[in-house]
Copies of this chain bind each other. A is one copy, B any other.
Amino acid sequence: MKIIDGGVTAPKGYCATGKHIGIKKVKKDLTLLLSETECVAAGAFTKNIVKAAPVLWDEKIVTSGEKVRGILVNSGNANACTGEQGIKDNETMAKTFATLASVSAEKILVCSTGVIGVNLPIEKIVEGIKDTYTYLGSSLENGNDAAEGIITTDTFVKQIAVTFELNGKEITIGGMAKGSGMIHPNMATMLSFITTDANISYHMLNKALKESVVDSYNMISVDGDTSTNDTVLTLANGMAGNDLIDKEDEAFTKFKETLHFVNLKLAKDIIHDGEGATKFVEVFVKRAKTKNDARTIAKSVISSSLFKTAIFGEDANWGRILAAMGYSGAEFNPQLVTIHYISSKGRIILMEAGTPIKFDEIKALEILKEKEITVEIELNQGVEEATAWGCDLSYEYVRINGEYRS
């Protein structure tokens, strides 16, 4: 596997672009992505029962197994809690793009992110789609514009592309994402779009995505809140010409691992851009009885407000880690737990086999002063492991999310 320049336009047969069409004041707010040929599509969606209109649209199409041709994303307005009008507007958007591409509306997936509870400026958007369509292309710049068009409060563009070989054919996977920024009232969405020219069946693409999501996007936490619009979409157009991946063989494993690499990179980028975050934190749980226990414990620790403020305060506080493990709902024996803090400055043990270890406070502070911190938790009850990623809880988080009015 090789990391290459670019994002969603890197695989064969995809063109895209992003433009400012007037939903936001200045920044790009519309992204179009189109494949030359039909794609199988897999998706993962928010589990929030309050779902935005585009989520309902996409979920229906993606679960039907029907092939699609493109994706339309607007930022600045989430088209959530917008009633019947929102459903209609969503369809209008899909239709407008579809007509330009000479396909039916159901061939276009739609995502929206931004303010909720406000109807879309649909006439402006229809005109914007028509104008933006003329800029579609497959250059690096096109991919970059597309990645810019989907972000809201993100401070940097998130994209990646990789290639790998499968039976003599070069396969490319590209991706772009936006983080869960909530700097503006009522904003909150994680979006991720993956394109690939791999030739893979609907069933196997679905399987690869589902298995990856559970250990990537589902293992990151900025503040534990889940949005009404969270969506991950993956398109595969088969233009790489490899033999169809349609069962769990070596080719599938290779594809799945590469897809997971792309998803992990984008998920971690989202955390690196977490609101007000000053530190990137990894919680690595090992030797768990079950994979699920490992995931549950890692996520419980990374989501604890007390743990997150301790990280912000550079405090080697094992008590808060153990407490968050204890209320996670996962099973483990506290008497067997060993906890380390790790950074580029070294590692320090805080607890061994359930017993707190007296540690060198100066060494601990030196480790915790770093921007990237790992908490390693050994349960010593099995062989399963899981990792969760998150950030600290800072004054800046409270300011961004509390004081936007002042």
Name A's B-contacting residues (CB within 8 A).
47-50, 80-81, 83, 116-118, 182, 185-186, 188, 223-228, 304-306, 309-310, 312-315, 317-320, 322-327, 331-332, 334, 351, 354-356, 365, 392-395, 397-399, 401-406
B116 touches A312 (CB 8 A): no
A–B pairs, 9, beta carbons within 8 Å: A48-B323, A48-B327, A81-B354, A116-B319, A188-B306, A224-B304, A305-B393, A315-B402, A315-B405
**Majority DSSP secondary structure for residues of A touching B:** loop
B323 touches A405 (CB 8 A): no
B50 touches A326 (CB 8 A): yes
Closest to A327 in B: B226
Q: Which 10 pairs from chain A and chain B are nearest by CB?
A: A313-B402, A186-B319, A50-B326, A117-B356, A48-B326, A309-B401, A309-B402, A226-B327, A312-B402, A223-B305
B81 touches A319 (CB 8 A): yes
Q: Give A111 Cβ to nearest chain B Cβ, in Å.
A: 17
- Complex contacts, A49 vs chain B, CB 8 Å: 326-327, 331-332, 334
This protein's copies in its complex? 2
- Complex contacts, A116 vs chain B, CB 8 Å: 319, 322
Closest to A223 in B: B305
Q: Give A82 Cβ to nearest chain B Cβ, in Å.
A: 8
Supplied contacts A224-B305, A313-B405, 20 more A-B pairs, CB within 8 Å: A50-B325, A80-B319, A116-B322, A186-B320, A188-B319, A188-B320, A224-B304, A225-B305, A225-B306, A225-B320, A225-B327, A227-B323, A305-B401, A309-B398, A313-B401, A313-B403, A365-B405, A392-B402, A393-B398, A395-B398
Among B185, B323, B365, point to the contact of A188 (Cβ < 8 A).
B323
Among B50, B314, B398, point to the contact of A405 (Cβ < 8 A).
B314
Q: Give A331 Cβ to nearest chain B Cβ, in Å.
A: 8
CA distance A28 to B141 in the complex (A): 68
B403 touches A398 (CB 8 A): no
- Complex contacts, A323 vs chain B, CB 8 Å: 48, 50, 188, 225-228
CA distance A186 to B393 in the complex (A): 17
- Complex contacts, A188 vs chain B, CB 8 Å: 306, 319-320, 323
A394 touches B398 (CB 8 A): yes
CA distance A355 to B224 in the complex (A): 25
CA distance A397 to B402 in the complex (A): 13
CA distance A69 to B117 in the complex (A): 59
Among B80, B310, B356, B401, point to the contact of A402 (Cβ < 8 A).
B310
- Complex contacts, A315 vs chain B, CB 8 Å: 185, 402, 404-405
CA distance A48 to B315 in the complex (A): 22
- Complex contacts, A226 vs chain B, CB 8 Å: 323, 326-327
Closest to A403 in B: B313
CA distance A319 to B229 in the complex (A): 12
